[in-house]
Structure 1
């Protein structure tokens, strides 16, 4: 049995995966009540990653956020949300700033 949704039942969101050299973005219309991790699954099914793309993370297991705020998998998506799939940091941002400060002093 398929469900039909009226326009008022749907939310427009986007799912983002930013890699060092490229950013992947998928805009979706999802039913109200869609959770963050489900939105990632739907984005992957809709073509978030092009054929052959192999990111260095697993989008279905990576931490998620909405507009730079970390959220749980069961976060309920809202109209206009930007679901972000986070990659592990390669270096602590505080340590990186310290190193830059030291370099600018020398």
Structure 2
């Protein structure tokens, strides 16, 4: 009998998240889990060509082989560069203090 893996696939939006638990055959990849999860159909805005994926917050390639109890995460593209946002906050803080 083939070994089975229990994994989760998750996609989060600002106001909600969707988590799907799957049972897959040993040797399945992150891409296999995402395809089987149904999340690509439920959220047509997901573009895996532009979105990174990870396992427990570590970026991985779609062909990464999964282990039992892995959580595959589909990340949304950043809306703003965090460095630019930080710089803008610093500038706003400076202008507020100089008044």
**TM-score bin (small chain):** 0.7 to 0.9
Partner of residue 39, structure 1: 33
When the two structures are aligned, how many residues end up with a matched partner? 94
TM-score, length-scaled by structure 1: 0.74
Partner of residue 63, structure 1: 52
Structure 1 residue runs of 4 or more that deviate by more than 6 Å after TM superposition: none
Query: Structure 2 CA distance, aligned partners of 1:68 and 1:103?
Result: 31
Partner of residue 70, structure 2: 81
The Cα RMSD (Å) is 2.2
Query: Structure 1 CA distance, aligned partners of 2:16 and 2:70?
Result: 21
Q: 1:16 aligns with which of 10, 24, 39?
A: 10
Q: Secondary structure at the match of 2:24?
A: strand
Return the index of the structure with the highest Cα Rg. Answer: 2
Query: Structure 2 CA distance, aligned partners of 1:96 and 1:71?
Result: 26
1:25-60, Cα deviation, whole Å (9 max, x unpaired): 10112111110001001111xxx47x8x545323x5
TM-score, length-scaled by structure 2: 0.78
Query: Structure 2 CA distance, aligned partners of 1:65 and 1:39?
Result: 12
Partner of residue 88, structure 2: 99
Contiguous gaps of at least 5 residues in structure 1: none
